[in-house]
Structure 1
Amino acid sequence: MRDLARSYWVVIPAYNEAETVRDVAMRARQQCPNVIVVDDGSTDGTARALAGLDITQIHHEENRGKAGSLQRGFEHALAHGALGIITLDADGQHAPEEIPIFLTASVNAPDVFLVGIRPRDKRKTSFWRYGANRVADFWISWAAGQLIDDTQSGFRLYPATLLRNIDLAEGKERSFVFESEVLIEASHLGTSIGMVTVGVAPRRGSRPSHFRPVYDIAKITFMVAARLLARGMYPAGLYRVVREWIGPSSAEGLSRTDKLAKSSRK
Structure 2
Amino acid sequence: MAVSRPTILIPSFNTGPLLLETVEAALATGYPVRVVIDGSTDGSETLLEDLTATDNQLRVHILPQNQGKGAAVLFGLEKSLEDGFTHALAMDADGQHPADSVTAFLELSSRHPEAAIFGRPVFDDSAPALRVNGRKISNFWANLETLGWGIDDSLFGMRLYPIRKLIETLEETRFARRFDFDPEVAVRLAWKGVPIVNLPTPVRYIDPEDGGVSQFRYLRDNTLLTWMHFRLMIGFLIRSPWLGMRGENPLLHLSPPAR
Question: Which TM-score band (shorter chain)?
Answer: 0.7 to 0.9
**Matches for 1:110-259 after TM superposition, within 5 Å:** 110-120=113-123, 124-145=126-147, 146-166=149-169, 167-169=171-173, 174-203=177-206, 205-206=210-211, 208-232=213-237, 255-256=256-257
How big is the shift at 1:23?
1.5
- Which residue of 1 is the match for residue 49 of structure 2? 51
Question: Could you say what the CA RMSD is over the residues aligned between the two structures, in angstroms?
Answer: 3.0
Q: Find the residue that maps to 2:226 and give its secondary structure.
A: helix
Which of 10, 15, 21 is matched with 1:17 structurally? 15
**Does the Cα contact within 8 Å between 2:122 and 2:203 map onto a contact in 1?**
yes
How big is the shift at 1:99?
0.5
**Does the Cα contact within 8 Å between 2:127 and 2:204 map onto a contact in 1?**
no
**Does the Cα contact within 8 Å between 1:132 and 1:217 map onto a contact in 2?**
no
Q: CA deviation digits over 1:66-100, x for unaligned, max 9? A: 11111111111111111210000111111112100
Q: Find the residue that maps to 1:226 and give its secondary structure.
A: helix
Distance 1:133 1:238, change over 3 A: farther
Equivalents in 2 of 1:253, 1:74: separation in Å?
26
Residue type matched to 2:137 in 1? V
- Which residue of 2 is the match for residue 261 of structure 1? none
How big is the shift at 1:178?
1.7
How big is the shift at 1:186?
0.6
Q: CA deviation digits over 1:25-73, x for unaligned, max 9? A: 1111121431111111112121111112121010011111111111111
How big is the shift at 1:231?
3.6
Equivalents in 1 of 2:258, 2:160: separation in Å?
15
Q: How many equivalent residue pairs? A: 243
Q: Find the residue that maps to 2:143 and give its secondary structure.
A: helix
Deviates more, 1:68-77 or 1:174-183: 174-183
Gaps of 5+ in 1: 259-266
How big is the shift at 1:207?
5.1
Equivalents in 1 of 2:242, 2:133: separation in Å?
22
How big is the shift at 1:200?
1.1
Gaps of 5+ in 2: none
Residue type matched to 2:188 in 1? E
Deviates more, 1:54-63 or 1:26-35: 26-35
Distance 1:104 1:21, change over 3 A: same
**Matches for 1:99-118 after TM superposition, within 5 Å:** 99-118=102-121
How big is the shift at 1:169?
4.2
- Which residue of 2 is the match for residue 72 of structure 1? 75
Which of 87, 90, 94 is matched with 2:97 structurally? 94
Share of identical aligned residues, percent? 26
Equivalents in 1 of 2:15, 2:231: separation in Å?
34
Scaled by the length of structure 1, the TM-score of the pair is 0.80
Equivalents in 2 of 1:90, 1:21: separation in Å?
5
Q: CA deviation digits over 1:217-266, x for unaligned, max 9? A: 33223222222234438778999xxxx9xxxx9xx8973269xxxxxxxx
Residue type matched to 2:100 in 1? E
Distance 1:237 1:200, change over 3 A: farther
Deviates more, 1:220-229 or 1:205-214: 205-214
Q: CA deviation digits over 1:91-129, x for unaligned, max 9? A: 1111112100111111210010111111146x5433432
Scaled by the length of structure 2, the TM-score of the pair is 0.82
Distance 1:75 1:30, change over 3 A: same
How big is the shift at 1:216?
1.6
How big is the shift at 1:142?
1.1
